[in-house]
Amino acid sequence: MIFPQGEHERQQQIKFEAKHIASVSLDYFFEAPSMADSNLAYLSFLLLLLLPLSLFLFLYLILRPRPVRIPIKNRHVFITGGSSGIGLALAHQVASEGARVSILARSLDKLEEAKQAIQLATGIEAAVFAADVRDYDAISRAVEKAGPIDVLIVNQGVFVPQELERQELDEVRFMLDVNLMGTFNMIKAALPAMKLHRRDRGPASIALMSSQAGQVGIYGYTAYSASKFGLRGLAEALQQEVIADDIHVSLIFPPDTDTPGLVEENKRRPQLTSIIAASSGVMKADEVAKRALSGIKSGRFIIPCNFEGLLLSIATAGFSPQRSFLMAFVEVVAAGIIRFVTLCFQWNWYGSIEKWHAQIKRT
């Protein structure tokens, strides 16, 4: 076919453009999946970012009670079990921060020794009160004489380790009366004056000294764990009752602590108890007191004292109040993982118990 002049060039141009369009279309066809993958990856990244941010924002909106700071300087801090151990360490620390300190214990001689030690170390003269927390009338007189309390630290505690089958019921009652009923007595005696004119005096605190045995039951701790688990229910309900009065409850969970009480406890502790409890280690009283006071000042409901205690706090968070948005986020996200860790601990503990009983049977 003969094309007019110029027509041939136009036909060649049309063919070239058609080939170019086909080439671009094929390139787009092969490149499209990679662009789709890129968009999908971008959307996935946004979801991974937005989901935790949305959860954190939601927790920020719903958490109650709200964060608070409990001042210590120039406040009246009343500590039971304050003549030795963690209680005495706490008395030293609050006195060094400028608090007015009152300590209560059964032995007047030990109280006087503690008073001298506090004054020598901090220059603060602590008020001392000799009374048994099981005696409500004696506690009430001490609280009335001490004056309105801003920070109440209920620290007294006794522990006699023994399997329930071998333990006398008098020892069980003794632990329940001192650790649990003694706490009720102390709070009941102190609460009316703590509430009085509270808004003018600033936020107050009631801190209860529990134990890691108040988070998980341990072999040989049957009665002791019962008394310390009881404090959990007391604290959770009490926080709801006193929050309107600007009073904030804390629950402290120390592990085994190097105190005179631990020395006596180890004399009777079943060997299986020592094997199981050894996983958490032993802390110094000063270190426990430091972490406890830090938690009290920040108004934390649950105050763990070491890493194992932190894991237990997450694992047993349940319905407990949480003021920290970050900790609430960790509790929600890590709950399943921590549950797996606790099952591993249980596997280890029950394995130790099985080996122990198998050894006893062989001998």
Write the Ramachandran bin of 6: left for phi over 0, alpha for psi from -120 to 50, otherwise beta: left
Identify the pLDDT of residue 29: 43
Percent of the chain with pLDDT over 90: 68
Q: Say yes or no to pLDDT of 1 above 80.
A: no
The DSSP symbol for 124 reads -
Identify the pLDDT of residue 38: 67
Task: Tell me the two tokens of residue 360.
Answer: 């006893």
Provide the CA 135 distance to its chain's centre, in angstroms: 30
Averaged pLDDT, 4-30: 50
Q: Positive or negative, the Cα torsion across 288, 294, 300, 306? A: negative
Q: In whole angstroms, what is the distance from residue 239 CA to residue 320 CA? A: 10
Lookup result for tokens 């309107």: 244
Of the residues 110, 115, 228, 297, which is catalytic? 228
Is 227 a catalytic site residue? no
Identify the pLDDT of residue 52: 78
Task: Tell me the two tokens of residue 231.
Answer: 């404090």
Query: pLDDT confidence of 262, banded at 50, 70, 90?
Result: confident
Rg (CA), the chain: 32
Angle at 124 between CA 134 and CA 133, to 5 degrees: 0
Is 280 a catalytic site residue? no
Q: In whole angstroms, what is the distance from residue 224 CA to residue 226 CA? A: 5
Q: Say yes or no to pLDDT of 49 above 80.
A: no
Q: What 3-state class would DSSP assign to 120? A: helix
First to last CA, the chain: 113
Query: pLDDT confidence of 175, banded at 50, 70, 90?
Result: very high
Q: Say yes or no to pLDDT of 138 above 70.
A: yes
Q: What is the helix (H) or strand (E) element at residue 312, kind and residue range?
A: helix 307-315
Whole-number average pLDDT of the chain: 88
Angle at 360 between CA 354 and CA 363, to 5 degrees: 140
Of the residues 224, 225, 227, 297, which is catalytic? 224
Averaged pLDDT, 114-124: 96
Q: In whole angstroms, what is the distance from residue 193 CA to residue 211 CA? A: 28
Identify the pLDDT of residue 316: 94
Query: pLDDT confidence of 362, banded at 50, 70, 90?
Result: confident
Q: In whole angstroms, what is the distance from residue 190 CA to residue 208 CA? A: 13
Q: Residue 65, preceding bond cis, omega within 30 degrees?
A: yes
Max mean pLDDT among 110-119, 196-205, 257-266, 325-334 falls in 110-119
Task: Tell me the two tokens of residue 235.
Answer: 């604290």
Identify the pLDDT of residue 3: 44
Lookup result for tokens 């990856």: 41
Averaged pLDDT, 208-221: 95
Task: Tell me the two tokens of residue 334.
Answer: 């890590």
Identify the pLDDT of residue 28: 45
Is 210 a catalytic site residue? yes
Lookup result for tokens 């991974």: 48
Residues paired with residue 100 on neighbouring β-strands, in sequence order: 76
CATH topology assigned to domain 76-350: Rossmann fold (3.40.50)
Which amino acid would we find at residue 25? S
Q: When comparing pLDDT for 359 and 146, which is higher?
A: 146
E strands along 123-165, which residues? 127-130, 151-154
Tens of pLDDT, residue by residue over 287-317, are: 999 999 999 999 999 999 999 899 999 999 9
Residues paired with residue 248 on neighbouring β-strands, in sequence order: 205
**CA-to-CA dists, residue 97 to 74, 77, 289, 312, angstroms:** 8, 11, 13, 30
By CB atoms closer than 10 A (0-12, 13-18, 19+), residue 155 is buried
Task: Tell me the two tokens of residue 347.
Answer: 């596997």
The DSSP symbol for 81 reads T
